[in-house]
Chain A
């Protein structure tokens, strides 16, 4: 299974860099509402990602389990914090990897910041380097990962 996961990761990284999502300028222009193509990109991924049956026996990993989380205050306040960071850095966790790999070495600074933010959050929550997934993933069943 891990081989497939590597391939999925590779395809994702490839597409992020190939489509320009790893570029500060592309993201910054999108946030300035200068073009619609990144919105269209996200919208079309979203639309295709919806293509799955509600009850789906996945080929390799059993019954599909989706974890729909209810709306909570943290999604609003947290979303605002993430949005502030996104607006500042003009990149987010996946594209920051692509930026660095493309030679934009300041992407490493963003990645270091991301790691620190994650650790800080876990320190605040009292479980550093916890195995526990955040709520979005919690209800997933154990699969032989």
Chain B
């Protein structure tokens, strides 16, 4: 059964995500961001006692909440598709490409202290200058590269 629409409207999801930022400040005085949760999960696996547990719990929540939404959308159906990128590249090529893409984001988010959520929503909302510059640069670069690749591939990507 599909209890959720294909896509929840932005004017519902957007404000609710904003409220989560405020909620995390309210209950924990913490800054909502996802990348540091990856780090703390890895830290937890290596030596549980040194991990910052709230970030590990946040990660666990993200996994749980994603699964709930996936089930309400009709159940997660395991697949190896990847949109237009998946149509263009064979699986042997897409794996290293995605790995490197992830690596760039992980390296940078850890270095600059923010990803799309940490900079783009939380950091920008507290009017942190670094975060504002960060998200503007992230957006401009991502859009620029995507449009250039779109042109180079003749619109296939």
Q: 18 A-B contacts, Cβ less than 8 Å apart?
A: A5-B27, A8-B27, A8-B58, A9-B60, A15-B13, A20-B8, A48-B14, A61-B25, A75-B134, A78-B137, A88-B97, A89-B105, A90-B83, A103-B79, A109-B95, A113-B98, A120-B107, A136-B31
B83 and A6 contacting across the interface, CB-CB below 8 Å: no
Tell me if A83 and B52 are in contact (CB < 8 A): no
Contact B110 A31, beta carbon cutoff 8 Å: no
Whole-angstrom distance between the alpha carbons of A36 and B98 in the complex?
25
Total residue contacts A-B, CB cutoff 8 A? 488
Which chain B positions have C-beta within 8 A of A74?
Answer: 111-112
Interface residue count on the B side (C-beta < 8 Å): 126
1/0 contact string of B111-140 vs chain A (CB within 8 Å): 111111111111111111111111111111
- Asked whether A76 and B133 contact (CB < 8 A) given A41-B14, A106-B94, the answer is yes
B62 near A83 with CB under 8 A, answer no
Is the CB–CB distance between A32 and B147 below 8 Å?
A: yes
Q: A6-B57, A90-B85 in contact; A49/B21 too (CB < 8 A)?
A: yes
Nearest residue (CB) in A for B77 is A103
CB B38 to nearest CB in A, in angstroms, measures 6
**Is A117 within 8 A of B107, CB to CB?**
yes
Chain B neighbourhood of A90, CB < 8 A: 82-83, 85
Contacts of B54 in A (CB 8 A): 1-2, 5, 145
A23 to B8, CA, bound (A): 13
- The B interface, classified by DSSP as helix, strand, loop or mixed, is helix
A80 touches B141 (CB 8 A): yes
Asked if B8 and A69 make an inter-chain contact with CB atoms under 8 angstroms apart, the answer reads: no
Contact indicator B102/A114 (Cβ below 8 Å): yes
Q: Which of B13, B76, B106 meets A19, CB within 8 Å?
A: B13
Partner pick for B117 among A84, A93, A119, CB 8 A cutoff: A93
Whether A120 lies near B106 (C-beta < 8 A) is yes
Residues of B within 8 A of A56 (CB): 25
A82 to B126, CA, bound (A): 21
Q: 10 more A-B contacts (CB under 8 A) besides A49-B125, A58-B27, A71-B130? A: A4-B27, A8-B23, A15-B65, A18-B13, A19-B9, A44-B11, A61-B30, A113-B100, A114-B103, A131-B43
Given A15-B13, A19-B13, residue A96 in contact with residue B104 (CB < 8 A): no
Question: Which of B50, B60, B106, B111 is A115 in contact with, Cβ under 8 Å?
Answer: B106
A1 touches B61 (CB 8 A): no
Interface bits B13-50 vs A (CB < 8 Å: 1, else 0): 11111111111111111111111111100110011001
| Docked pose: A55 CA to B26 CA in angstroms | 12
Q: How far is the CA of A60 from the CA of B28 in the complex (A)?
A: 7
In the bound complex, residues from chain A placing their C-beta under 8 Å from that of B139 are 83
How far apart sit A128 and B123, CA to CA, in the bound complex (Å)?
A: 25
Bound-state Cα–Cα, A84 to B18, Å? 26
Pick the residue among A14, A32, A71, A136 that contacts B65 (CB under 8 A).
Answer: A14
